């Protein structure tokens, strides 16, 4: 590998907003998957309903985060 390939110019890097949105999306997807897999462990009634509602709310937040780059 030569010096030209090992150092990228600043124009070839993603901006901090894009990097933040990438990692936020990754964290939300992982969190939603874990929450979705564990909802069944909550007792029936209010605790399970609360977990499911939180899962749906975070899913809606993920939808908004996915739309941000399109604006």
Q: Supply the mean pLDDT for the chain.
A: 87
pLDDT tens digit string along 37-61? 999 899 999 999 999 999 999 999 9
Q: pLDDT band at residue 9, thresholds of 50, 70 and 90?
A: low
Q: pLDDT band at residue 69, thresholds of 50, 70 and 90?
A: confident
List Cα–Cα distances, 57 to 4, 14, 35, 66, in angstroms: 46, 29, 12, 14
Half-sphere exposure of 51 (CA within 13 A, CB side): 17
Contact 30, 17 (CB under 8 A): no
């Amino acid at each position: 590998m030569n010096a030209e390939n090992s150092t990228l110019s600043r124009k070839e890097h993603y901006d901090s907003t894009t990097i933040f949105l990438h990692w936020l999306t990754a964290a939300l997807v992982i969190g939603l998957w874990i929450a979705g897999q564990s909802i069944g462990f909550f007792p029936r009634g209010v605790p399970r309903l609360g977990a499911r509602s939180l899962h749906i709310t975070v899913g809606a937040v993920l939808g908004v985060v996915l739309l941000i780059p399109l604006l």
